[in-house]
Structure 1
Amino acid sequence: MTEGELLCELDPGTSGASLAEAQAQLAQARAQRPQVEARIPEAEAMLEQARAQVEEAEINLTAAEELSQGGFASRTRVASARAAQRTAEAAVSSAEAGLKSAQSGLEGLEAQIESARAAVARAQTVVDNLTIEAPFGGVLESDTAELGALMSVGAPCATVLQLDPVKLVGFVPETDVTRVETGARAGARLTGGQQVVGEVTFVSRQADATTRTFRVEVTLPNPDLALRAGQTAEIAIEAEGAKAHLLPQSAMTLDDTGAIGIRAVSDEGTARFMPVTVLRDTREGIWVAGLPDEVDVITVGQEYVTDGVTVDASFEEVLQ
């Protein structure tokens, strides 16, 4: 299955009609824009004309008042000039109101267009949601929707698995998480014995509240889809090396204080307890640190000797 391939298709119902209606309302609102925009220059021209009339009326009033003072004009002419001025001022107020109305009409139309555009977007989303496509390429695991089935919001249509690359998830104890770095090589052994190699792509910054371990993800290629989701794997991550000894688990013992360690044969031929740090437990044995490079470990009878007791040691190959 490829990305974008159709998984499910819903009955469109009236979704197409709703989209067409929303688009028609948007087109109608846009068609009104030239007419509404033309009202603004017209209103501005009327305002300029009204202001010019006010200036003319003020000039006529001033002239009438000066002539009246010299006895060359009657009171009637002065009153008429004053009335003309007031009429011109009222015309200015009316023109200003008309300009504001035209501007408000344009703003209202823009709001109407935006509302119609949002309605188109909602209707288009409904139409787009009628088809459910594969978000990525992968394997169709299950097809849960059947022809004629009633699907509710959030109900699964199908399950698609992306298995190339595949991600291995493990948890590292807090004592070792500082040794794990993003980009480090990692190997995994599956329950069937198959071994795979990848790299660390994620190391959690927050510990699990219950186990106090940190999530680690290893990504590796899986072109033939041989690895399946949910398989169990034993993961080994490459980290900074440290010298260690591989010993049988039966060689481990405890001293009087409860410290874990081994009993070894000293240079003087006596038994001696040596504490160790357990690094990893494997099928072949247990890896421990804290011992010198060469040490004679007592693997049989270590529980029957104490420090300082002379030991007659015999050597044999225990681990192959």
Structure 2
Amino acid sequence: MRLFPILAAIIVSALIYVFVLERDLLTGGAAPEDNPEAATEATTTTQESETDTKTSLLPGVVVQRSKARQIDSAVILRGQTEADRQVEMRAETSGQVVSTPLRKGSFVEEGQDLCRLDPGTRAATQAEARARLLEAQSRLPEARARKPEAKARVAEAKARVEEAKSRLNEAQINENAAKRLSEDGFASDTRVAATEAAVRGAEAALVSAKAGLESARSGLESAAAGVEAAKAGIESARAAIAAADKEVERLTISAPFSGLLESDTAELGSLLQPGALCATVIQLDPIILVGFVTETEVGRVALGARAGAELASGLRAEGTVTFLSRSADSTTRTFRVEIEVPNPDLAIRDGQTAEILIAADGQAAHLLPQSVLTLNDEGDLGVRIVTESQETQFVPVTLLRDTPDGVWLSGLPDEADVIVIGQEYVTDGVRVQAAYTEGAK
């Protein structure tokens, strides 16, 4: 009974030995030692199998191969429209309005009367000022005529001074001669006294002549002052006329430029005091688009650059940059930008919200889905790409423009394999198994 199990075990052992250890003999093949090529193929197959096994263990990502393209860059701002010019016309003098009012919304031409005030007695003031001018002008010839007379008197006084000096010299000579003769006994004391008296009289005459000269000179100065006073009177009269004319001119308040009335003009019969509002006039052609550019982008904006805008109403407009502030706003640290836009039909109104695009120098950029954007540990915005060694790498980028087809990004190489699916599950330096999207080259 025990013999059968023993034989069965021996037979099974023999069959296992034949099928496992002597397989090549049964199939007619050679042993590995006798067939080196077969051994090499078996080894290569084993290595490829191991490599496939390792590759299948790498994380898989979807990659899009992107090439940079040159695009027209633009600076995007939020702003509003402003009237090119706006002014509040106010009264400079007091008076009652005597003109029919114009209604708001009316178009007025440059120089058109907006408000006229009652002149009152201002016409009489003008006439009085002109009369004073005529009076002042009549005094000038008389003052000028006195000047030659004064000059003649000065010349006459000078001649008298010279005459007095001559008589004094003569008297002094006679006095000296009389004194010498008296010493020798040839002249009496009476003659000496007479010559001394003559000297004193000559001295007095000289003093009197000099006083006359000073008086004549004072008369000449007075005549000159009279001429200047007459001229001053003329200038004063002319100033009074100018003031009266200006006062009359202020009675009419006119439009300084062509535009629209933003308010009714002052009502007929109302009393305006200096500073009272007559009307508000605005000019909408051209109209100004106003925006504020940040410190980081102000260098990309240039005077004369083309710009476009889309208003909240859907209306589009184009113009050029005419002003870029050199001083930043102290609160927002932004710079004011003004764009002049033609508005001949006055379709664009003052104060409308606008999205402004200012053309800037073009640059190379990649158009990629917005979903590729991610953040690194430092919080920098960027994308992850696959390098030639099939490893991931984070690259910081700059968002240039957002479009319905994706976002335009700068900062990447000219050609880049960008991970579009799976970028959030890998870090830098990780080897991945990349699968390219359709259309990637």
1:256, distance to aligned residue in structure 2 (A): 0.7
Q: Distance in 2 between matches of 1:316 and 1:193?
A: 37
Please point out which of 110, 123, 131 is paired with 1:16.
123
Match for 1:48: what amino acid?
A: A
Where structure 1 has 5 or more consecutive residues not aligned to the other structure, the ranges are: none
Match for 1:315: what amino acid?
A: T
Please point out which of 117, 133, 136 is paired with 1:26.
133
The alignment of Structure 1 onto Structure 2 pairs a total of residues equal to 317
Q: Distance in 1 between matches of 2:345 and 2:127?
A: 47
Residues 21/269 of structure 1: CA separation in 2 closer, same or farther (3 Å cut): same
Cα deviation per residue 1:111-163 (whole Å; 9 max; x = unaligned)?
Answer: 33333332322222221111111111122232242112233333332222212
Q: Distance in 1 between matches of 2:133 and 2:407?
A: 75
Q: Distance in 1 between matches of 2:261 and 2:419?
A: 57
Q: Which residue number in structure 1 is paired with residue 175 of structure 2?
A: 68
Q: Which residue number in structure 2 is paired with residue 53 of structure 1?
A: 160
Q: Which residue number in structure 2 is paired with residue 85 of structure 1?
A: 206
Q: Which residue number in structure 2 is paired with residue 182 of structure 1?
A: 303
Q: Which residue number in structure 1 is paired with residue 336 of structure 2?
A: 215
1:291, distance to aligned residue in structure 2 (A): 1.0
1:179·1:239 contact (CA, 8 Å) conserved in 2? yes
Please point out which of 140, 159, 178 is paired with 2:280.
159
Larger radius of gyration: 2
Q: Distance in 2 between matches of 1:213 and 1:290?
A: 25
Worse-superposed segment, 139-148 or 50-59: 139-148
1:186·1:236 contact (CA, 8 Å) conserved in 2? yes
Match for 1:113: what amino acid?
A: I
Q: Which residue number in structure 2 is paired with residue 6 of structure 1?
A: 113
Counting aligned pairs with the same residue, the percent is 55
Alignment pair present for 1:243 and 2:360: no
1:54, distance to aligned residue in structure 2 (A): 0.7
Alignment pair present for 1:292 and 2:413: yes
Residues 131/250 of structure 1: CA separation in 2 closer, same or farther (3 Å cut): farther
Match for 1:139: what amino acid?
A: L
Kindly indicate which of the two structures has a greater share of residues assigned to strand: 2
1:271·1:311 contact (CA, 8 Å) conserved in 2? no
2:298·2:335 contact (CA, 8 Å) conserved in 1? yes
Secondary structure in 2 aligned to 1:167? strand
Where structure 2 has 5 or more consecutive residues not aligned to the other structure, the ranges are: 1-107, 179-190
Secondary structure in 2 aligned to 1:219? strand
Residues 282/91 of structure 1: CA separation in 2 closer, same or farther (3 Å cut): farther
2:115·2:265 contact (CA, 8 Å) conserved in 1? no
Worse-superposed segment, 79-88 or 301-310: 301-310
Q: Which residue number in structure 2 is paired with residue 113 of structure 1?
A: 234
Q: Which residue number in structure 1 is paired with residue 400 of structure 2?
A: 279
Cα deviation per residue 1:156-199 (whole Å; 9 max; x = unaligned)?
Answer: 32222212222111111111112211112222222233332211
The Cα RMSD (Å) is 2.4
Residues 150/293 of structure 1: CA separation in 2 closer, same or farther (3 Å cut): farther
Please point out which of 308, 326, 331 is paired with 1:205.
326
1:281, distance to aligned residue in structure 2 (A): 4.7
TM-score by structure 1 length? 0.89
Please point out which of 224, 229, 252 is paired with 2:345.
224
